[in-house]
Amino acid sequence: MAGTDVIYEQVGRALREIRTGAGLTQQQLAERAGLSVSFVSFLEAGRKKGSLETYHRLAHALGIPLARLFSGSAPAGWAARSKATGSEGLTAAEHRVLWRLLKRSRRGAPRRP
């Protein structure tokens, strides 16, 4: 369980860095994502664990790919594929949901040159 706590702390730090880099307050992000300010604060501090849907809403509100919140959160030794996709630390069921969300979000995205 401690390993997953570290991952949520790292995701929380990434969320805070991305939010502040975008020049948003917790309140602005919470409003955009349809969440409470206190919940966003708890997520950033790693004291609460959000669902994939919650992280998807936050990523959408920040205008970033969902996987970006999870990049850099893998403990040493995790599979290279997970590390490359930013999906490390997820259960098999969460991994499947993440892939479905990513596929769905890529369908409407313009192709890279």
Amino acid 40: pLDDT: 97
Q: Specify the pLDDT at position 107.
A: 62
Query: Please, is 71 exposed, middle or buried when counting C-beta atoms within 10 Å of its C-beta (0-12, 13-18, 19+)?
Result: middle
Domains and CATH numbers, the chain: 2-107 (1.10.260.40)
Please provide the average confidence, as pLDDT, over all residues in the chain.
78
The mean per-residue pLDDT over the stretch 27-39 comes to: 96
User: Encoding tokens for residue 75?
Assistant: 């403990």
Q: Check whether 34 has a pLDDT greater than 60.
A: yes
Alpha-carbon span 20 to 26, nearest angstrom: 9
**pTM for the predicted model, two decimal places:** 0.63
pLDDT tens digits for range 42-89: 999 989 899 999 999 999 999 999 988 888 654 444 443 444 455 556
